[in-house]
Amino acid sequence: MTNAQFLAFVRDDGYQRRDLWSPEGWNWKGEVCAPRYWFERDGEWRERRFDKQLPLEGDLPVMHVNWHEANAFCRYSGRRLPSEAEWEFAASFSGDGRRRYPWGDKADDGVRANLNGSGRAPVGAFAAGDSFGGCRQMLGNVWEWTSSTFAPYPDFVCDPYREYSEPWFGTHRVLRGEALRRPRG
């Protein structure tokens, strides 16, 4: 979702409409009325980025929203968050089977994904990196929420750093995308 799409949700009282929020999300929300680093000044929506307060750029992907906010936006839009398996399928599978990257099996050549660390890219950028199913920016730009609860994969074996992931099983939601993924198995 873009900042412009999420701003429409904010302006349409999305944070005040209880029907869009899960009971847990409504309890979390409290008095919150916009994403954490957004604020309105003199009729203009702005976003805090580090120590700067910049005008909100409508074509950039939304950042710093939690699962409850993403889920409420989906309800508002008549959509739902994908499961982790659905996200993985959209990002990695083609008619010929599983791909290492959304665009194929070879690493990025500089035009397929936002992997250079220069900040967010507009949602419409990097068409050459589209997945087989036409999904854009499945990695390299921002993390994306799924509806799945974080759990171990089949045959999971804990490494010596138990506190790395095991404590979060069953209590957190899954984020996908952003970093260059390594295939499982």
pLDDT value at position 182?
A: 42
Q: Pairing mode, if any, of strands 173-177 and 38-41?
A: unpaired
The first and second tokens of residue 113, run together, are 């994904």
Task: Please choose, from the candidates 44, 51, 46, 21, the residue with its C-alpha nearest in 3D space to the C-alpha of residue 35.
Answer: 46
Instruction: Report yes or no: 81 and 71 within 8 Å, Cβ to Cβ.
Output: yes
Residue position matching structure tokens 């050549």: 109
Count of CA atoms in the C-beta half-sphere (13 A) of 33: 8
Give the count of alpha carbons within 13 A of 48, CB side only. Answer: 11
- For residue range 36-78, what is the model confidence (pLDDT) as tens digits? 999 999 999 999 999 999 999 999 999 999 999 999 999 999 9
Q: Find where tokens 């799409």 sit.
A: 5
For the CA atoms of the chain, what is the radius of gyration? 18
Cβ neighbour number for residue 46 with a 10 Å cutoff: 16
The pTM assigned to this predicted structure is 0.87
Residue range 11-31, pLDDT digits in tens: 999 999 999 999 999 999 999
Which tokens is 38 given? 């957004």
The C-alpha atoms of residue 20 and residue 23 are separated, in whole angstroms, by 10
Per residue in 65-118, pLDDT (tens digit) is 999 999 999 999 999 999 999 999 998 888 888 888 888 888 766 688 887 767
